[in-house]
Structure 1
Amino acid sequence: MDSIEIRSYSHCVRNHIVDSHVDEWRVRSANKQFLMAVIDTLQGDDGVGLTVEWLSDSQTLKDLEKDFLIATKMSELTADDHLSVRTSTETAGNTPTVLLSPEKAVSLLPVHGNEAVQIEITNEAVTERLWEKYDNEWEIAIPVSVDTPPYSRLLSLAEHNLGTDVKTDLDNAYGAIESRAPDDRPEPVTVGLLVGAKHDLLLRDVVEWAETSTLATQGTVSKLKQQLEDVGVVSTTSENIGVGRPRQRLTLAKETFESLSSDELVANVQSVLP
């Protein structure tokens, strides 16, 4: 046993994974706070050549995917091949958090909040045995795909389909709600509709963006648009294009909303949503 320290989860991830000369790491954990630190730290780093294989249990992954902003970062990392996720056939929740490479093993024992006792092992015989054990677990584990679209894809499609200003406002709005608890955030599609109304976009263009990015279906967009209309935040106007059905254009229902930035708009509207 080479060292024992108390460190934050983010420090552990940066020190042992991101800033390490080792490019192959395996993480076995059902600790949501630690796994969120892994996602945030990897997402904030260029991660060139770095791959993390993450073994967890299905319930922990489902809980993380309920948080849109965490899930979209996970999706980004998996799309860039920096993160590979599998669910264990065993109960990962009953084991301590372990960071493992062929050269080093780090066990984390929770202390309080986002801190843990960090036990680092570099004994070659021990690390080889541990790597072999977890390698076998990894091979029989079930690969997981993240259904939430990558964040960069949401923004790039918004820029391409809706315009640069819309893309910038979406980024600002999503960034503004990140610090809130998941239950206190509007739906990601609701944010898109609010930004769309701020820019007087056609509803069909917002629907196309949501469907192309796989963020939501037309039915979901329509339901959430109706919800915003019901609380008096968004309204639609019909435009006759001469052929086919009239198109609906999104607008903000109150003049007082028009002077608000996208993040201020989302913050104000959240208080009146059911």
Structure 2
Amino acid sequence: MEHIEITSYDDCLVSCLDEPSVDHWRVRTDDPEFLSAFIDVLQEEDPVGKRIEWLCDQDVIKGLEKNFVRAAKASDLVTESTLTIRESTDAAPNTPTVLVSPEQTVSLLPVGDGEAVQVDITEEAACERLWEKHQSEWDIAMPHSIDTPPYSRLVTMAEQKLGDGVGADIDTAYTAVESRSPDEQPEPVTVSLLVGAKHELLLNDIVDWAETSTLATQGTVSKLKQRLEEFDIIATESKSVGVGRPRQRLVFSDESMQSLPADELLAHVQGVLA
């Protein structure tokens, strides 16, 4: 039996995850818009007890990994065992978006603006054949791990290591760039340095957080700090910490930037760096 309706990607995904008769979904898609909704809904719904798998093509996963925030959120899902990713050994351009399970198959035909014609198939023989096909593809696919550090690790460790409100501001700043194309996104370390200057943090503390969270090395942090200094966006002040050399504290060259919310701060600096 088939059921056809026009729905949003979000509503379709929530409905599938809430379906009590299905505890194992396998997703196939090369649609970036659906993929964004897929990651967001999985984070919001936290489908305990469900097996969620994504069979992807190499070009699709590379595209995801170019978007730092999306990749970090997907890394969260993999780390928490909410999502398992495998890379197909047989590239299939223009792959239709389908969610397959032994009990039900959902096909989505995009119509724009985050909506699609949703076709639900529950006929037993059809679902069995479709599942067998996708199971065969899954069996020969290669496990894929995302090198980007998990998003929650970055935010939580920032709050723990850098002080109250820092994690929230980093979350706000990263969220502000998430919907931009990868070419228009600033380096995640640059974003973190700007938040660091807003909170007048010690450079050593930023480096320690970046290295511990696996976001970046000390060399990368120093290089991007220097670039912001060259554009006269941030500066450093010496701070005595007792015995040893003074530490560098990050500050803004223009004190008026201090009061800007993290998202507005980022937009302002992007205009200068462009």
TM-score range relative to shorter protein: over 0.9
Percent pairwise identity: 59
Contact 1:57 1:91 in 2 (8 A): yes
Q: CA deviation at 1:175?
A: 2.7
- Whole-Å Cα distance in 2 between the matches of residues 2 and 263 of structure 1? 45
- Whole-Å Cα distance in 2 between the matches of residues 110 and 258 of structure 1? 44
Distance 1:94 1:172, change over 3 A: closer
Task: Provide Cα deviations, 1:216-237, integer angstroms capped at 9, x if missing partner.
Answer: 1111111111111111110012
Q: CA deviation at 1:72?
A: 1.1
Equivalent pairs counted in the alignment come to: 273
- Whole-Å Cα distance in 1 between the matches of residues 182 and 7 of structure 2? 26
Q: What is the aligned partner in structure 2 of residue 268 from structure 1?
A: 268
Contact 2:51 2:83 in 1 (8 A): yes
Q: CA deviation at 1:244?
A: 4.8
**Secondary structure class of the residue paired with 2:170:** helix
Structure 2 regions of 5+ residues with no counterpart? none
Distance 1:98 1:179, change over 3 A: closer
Q: What is the aligned partner in structure 2 of residue 20 from structure 1?
A: 19
Q: Which amino acid aligns with 1:95?
A: T
Kindly indicate whether residue 80 of structure 2 is the aligned counterpart of residue 42 of structure 1. no
Kindly indicate whether residue 202 of structure 2 is the aligned counterpart of residue 202 of structure 1. yes
Q: CA deviation at 1:183?
A: 3.1
Q: What is the aligned partner in structure 2 of residue 31 from structure 1?
A: 31
Q: What is the aligned partner in structure 1 of residue 60 from structure 2?
A: 60
| 177-186 or 105-114, larger mean C-alpha shift | 177-186
Q: Which amino acid aligns with 2:139?
A: E
- Whole-Å Cα distance in 2 between the matches of residues 35 and 259 of structure 1? 35
Kindly indicate whether residue 240 of structure 2 is the aligned counterpart of residue 234 of structure 1. no
Q: What is the aligned partner in structure 1 of residue 155 from structure 2?
A: 155
Counterpart mapping for 1:210-249 below 5 A: 210-241=210-241, 243-249=243-249
Q: CA deviation at 1:215?
A: 1.0
Q: Which amino acid aligns with 2:222?
A: S
Task: Provide Cα deviations, 1:107-162, integer angstroms capped at 9, x if missing partner.
Answer: 22233342222221111111112111211211110111111111110111111211
| 222-231 or 44-53, larger mean C-alpha shift | 44-53
**Secondary structure class of the residue paired with 1:3:** strand
Q: Which amino acid aligns with 1:125?
A: A
TM-score normalised by structure 1 residue count: 0.93
Q: What is the aligned partner in structure 2 of residue 109 from structure 1?
A: 109
Q: Which amino acid aligns with 1:79?
A: T
- Whole-Å Cα distance in 2 between the matches of residues 50 and 8 of structure 1? 21
Q: Which amino acid aligns with 1:114?
A: G
**Secondary structure class of the residue paired with 2:273:** coil
Task: Provide Cα deviations, 1:143-193, integer angstroms capped at 9, x if missing partner.
Answer: 111111111101111112111221222222223333444433322111110
Q: What is the aligned partner in structure 2 of residue 79 from structure 1?
A: 79
Q: What is the aligned partner in structure 1 of residue 167 from structure 2?
A: 167
Task: Provide Cα deviations, 1:197-243, integer angstroms capped at 9, x if missing partner.
Answer: 11111111101111111111111111111111111110012345565
- Whole-Å Cα distance in 1 between the matches of residues 172 and 33 of structure 2? 25
Q: What is the aligned partner in structure 1 of residue 9 from structure 2?
A: 9
Q: What is the aligned partner in structure 1 of residue 51 from structure 2?
A: 51
TM-score normalised by structure 2 residue count: 0.93
Compute the RMSD of aligned alpha carbons.
Answer: 1.8
Contact 2:70 2:178 in 1 (8 A): no
- Whole-Å Cα distance in 2 between the matches of residues 49 and 139 of structure 1? 22
Contact 1:56 1:92 in 2 (8 A): no
Contact 2:67 2:178 in 1 (8 A): no
Contact 1:29 1:92 in 2 (8 A): no
- Whole-Å Cα distance in 2 between the matches of residues 165 and 81 of structure 1? 28
Contact 1:198 1:252 in 2 (8 A): yes
Contact 2:14 2:45 in 1 (8 A): no
- Whole-Å Cα distance in 2 between the matches of residues 111 and 175 of structure 1? 26
Q: Which amino acid aligns with 1:40?
A: D
Q: Which amino acid aligns with 1:13?
A: L
